[in-house]
């Protein structure tokens, strides 16, 4: 009887996992629910056996029950820092709190009261737990993540909570000491995608610097890096640093926000070699090889996992004549231009103004291009698309916007190499020495395997 029940129990759990993947509803959809139901099923299984057990067997089974209740390690679902309020709420008690947050700052699956599958915004969660939030600081794209790339984000008031929102994108990238006045502890909770020219790590740098100057400790609620399984690309050269790349790291840096903050401190990258007082709430059940699917867009033009995975390669197109899907619903999953031959670029589309792209490149003009939505998950930067597009482009003199391309690439060398006909293999060889040195340095700051 016990063997039969055990098989049925495993079958039910397996069915639940499969349905989770397929979006069906045989079992509750969240991993949180599975954490609840699996131990219950296991306890039922234990209760169905014969009562003729000796004391030693009972002790063994008690140990197994205890281990099985810690189901996090069985399922291996990554748990973000924000999803562990038991670790950070005590740090906020009696303190005046500031927070750097946007639409990715979600608390998920820690309470039956959280009914939205994507969770509850951390600001709403903290307010409901009587944290004394004084100000919210917002990065590029704004607090609710609705602004276009590069669009100036204005200060304002959050309608839901009435809290003051201060923009950290535009002229004011550094929180001023006046804006920090009265704040006793700062929280940083932003989902990054592991790409140097994605500006959230630049915001992290400025926040660390401002907090250090004001003597404010910074609590970082860490989150998995969806591109954290590799490092690749050209290094940022000092003469080209800016908001699209403030540090000497490769295009794909392979670190979480928490790890990156440790590296900023450890490498002395803050002004005057300052060191920020940081407390990192680590992720659970996460390694750099763990796949991670984001519950919401990290920015308007990264709509899904495919776009996020292709972004390190296609983000470089921002500095060229090519459109990378802005003005469509396939952002960073297609590429095209009116100046590419239809013979080799058969996918046709016309960019139009939309959410995240008020003025897309080649607005209203039909583009010939490629549909890359079925590209397998990548573990390196791929330059073949940009190299081949340059070779086939009808107006090579208009292909590069040199200033913008250099800001993204971190070096003038990459444009020169493409223009001179280097192959991707030849270009990549020129990165290897720097990548090896960076990886050696990076190891000191890793929090996860």
Q: Which tens digit of pLDDT belongs to each residue from 210-247?
A: 999 999 999 999 999 999 999 999 999 999 999 999 99
The answer to the question of residue 420 being in a domain is no
Instruction: Taking residues 159-172, report their average pLDDT.
Output: 88
> What pLDDT was estimated at residue 99?
98
> Last residue of some domain: 244, 266, 293?
293
The answer to the question of residue 325 being in a domain is yes
Could you tell me the pTM of the whole model? 0.82
Instruction: Taking residues 428-442, report their average pLDDT.
Output: 98
The answer to the question of residue 268 being in a domain is yes
The answer to the question of residue 427 being in a domain is no
Residues 287 and 327 in one domain: no
Residues 100 and 193 in one domain: yes
Long-range contact list for 37-45, CB < 8 A, 24+ apart? Answer: 38/13, 38/68, 38/71, 38/74, 39/65, 39/68, 39/69, 39/71, 41/9, 41/12, 41/13, 42/9, 42/68, 44/5, 44/9, 45/2, 45/5, 45/6, 45/9
Residues 134 and 260 in one domain: yes
Q: Taking the mean position of all CA atoms in its chain, how far away is CA 147?
A: 18
Locate the DSSP E strands across 270-317.
Answer: 278-281
Q: Residue 169 — pLDDT band, cuts 50, 70, 90?
A: confident
Residue 296, C-beta contacts closer than 8 angstroms, at least 6 positions apart: 103, 104, 106, 118, 145
Residues 99 and 225 in one domain: yes
Q: Report the CATH number that the domain containing residue 106 is assigned in CATH.
A: 3.40.50.12170
The answer to the question of residue 442 being in a domain is no
How far is it, in rounded angstroms, from Cα 45 to Cα 291?
Answer: 32
> What pLDDT was estimated at residue 160?
84
> What pLDDT was estimated at residue 17?
41
Question: Alpha-carbon torsion 260, 101, 179, 134, what sign?
Answer: negative
Contact 291, 224 (CB under 8 A): no
Q: Residue 271 — pLDDT band, cuts 50, 70, 90?
A: very high
pLDDT of 136 above 80: yes
Calculate the average pLDDT of the chain. Answer: 85
- Residue with the bigger pLDDT between 48 and 420: it is 420
Residues 13 and 151 in one domain: no
> Last residue of some domain: 21, 47, 75?
75
How far is it, in rounded angstroms, from Cα 246 to Cα 237?
Answer: 9
> What pLDDT was estimated at residue 355?
86
Contact 287, 449 (CB under 8 A): yes
Residues 196 and 333 in one domain: no
Residues 354 and 248 in one domain: no
pLDDT tens-digit map of 248-257: 999 999 999 9
How far is it, in rounded angstroms, from Cα 292 to Cα 74?
Answer: 17
pLDDT of 335 above 70: yes
Structural domain for 36, as ranges: 2-75
> Last residue of some domain: 53, 75, 97?
75
Residues 212 and 309 in one domain: no
Residues 255 and 120 in one domain: yes
Instruction: Taking residues 37-45, report their average pLDDT.
Output: 43
> What pLDDT was estimated at residue 394?
96
Residues 123 and 232 in one domain: yes
The answer to the question of residue 263 being in a domain is yes
The answer to the question of residue 443 being in a domain is no
How far is it, in rounded angstroms, from Cα 320 to Cα 410?
Answer: 15
pLDDT of 51 above 70: no
Residues 257 and 311 in one domain: no
The answer to the question of residue 95 being in a domain is yes
Residues 31 and 112 in one domain: no
What's the number of domains the chain is made of? Answer: 3
């Amino acid at each position: 009887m016990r063997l039969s029940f055990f098989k049925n129990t495993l079958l039910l759990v397996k069915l639940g996992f499969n349905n989770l993947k397929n979006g069906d509803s045989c079992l509750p959809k969240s991993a949180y629910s599975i954490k609840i139901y699996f131990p219950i099923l296991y306890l039922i299984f234990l209760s169905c056996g014969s009562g003729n057990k000796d004391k030693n067997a009972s002790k063994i089974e008690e140990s197994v029950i205890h281990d099985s209740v810690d189901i996090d390690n069985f399922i291996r679902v990554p748990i973000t820092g924000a999803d562990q309020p038991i670790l950070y709420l005590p740090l906020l008690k009696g303190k005046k709190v500031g927070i750097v947050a946007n639409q990715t700052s979600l608390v998920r699956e820690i309470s039956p009261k959280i009914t939205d599958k994507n969770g509850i915004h951390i600001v709403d969660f903290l307010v409901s737990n009587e944290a004394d939030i004084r100000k919210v600081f917002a990065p590029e794209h704004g607090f609710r993540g609705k602004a276009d790339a590069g669009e100036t984000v204005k200060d304002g008031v959050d309608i839901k909570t009435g809290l003051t929102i201060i923009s950290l994108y535009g002229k004011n990238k550094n929180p001023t000491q006046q804006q920090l006045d009265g704040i006793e502890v700062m929280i940083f909770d932003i989902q990054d995608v592991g790409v140097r020219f994605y500006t959230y790590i630049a915001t992290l740098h400025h926040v660390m610097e401002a907090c250090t100057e004001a003597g404010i400790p910074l609590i970082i609620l860490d989150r998995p890096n969806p591109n954290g399984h590799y490092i690749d690309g050209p290094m940022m050269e000092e003469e080209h640093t800016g908001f699209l790349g403030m540090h000497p790291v490769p295009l794909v840096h392979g670190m979480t926000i928490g790890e990156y903050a440790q590296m900023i401190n450890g490498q002395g990258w803050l002004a005057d070699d300052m060191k920020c007082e940081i407390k990192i709430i680590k992720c659970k059940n996460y390694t750099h090889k763990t796949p991670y699917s984001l519950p919401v867009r990290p920015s308007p033009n990264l709509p899904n996992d495919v776009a996020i995975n292709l972004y390190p390669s296609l983000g470089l197109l921002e500095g060229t004549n090519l459109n990378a899907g802005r003005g469509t619903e396939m952002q960073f999953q297609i590429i095209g231009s009116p100046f590419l031959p239809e013979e080799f670029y058969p996918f046709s589309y016309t960019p139009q103004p939309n959410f995240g792209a008020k003025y897309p490149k080649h607005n209203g003009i039909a583009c010939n291009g490629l549909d890359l939505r079925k590209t397998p998950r990548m573990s390196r930067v791929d330059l073949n698309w940009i190299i081949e597009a340059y070779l086939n482009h009808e107006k090579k003199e208009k292909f590069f916007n040199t200033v913008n391309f250099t800001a993204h690439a971190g070096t003038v060398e990459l444009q020169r190499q493409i223009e001179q006909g280097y192959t991707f293999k030849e270009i990549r060889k020129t990165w290897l020495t720097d990548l090896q040195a960076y990886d050696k340095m990076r190891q000191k700051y890793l929090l996860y395997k």
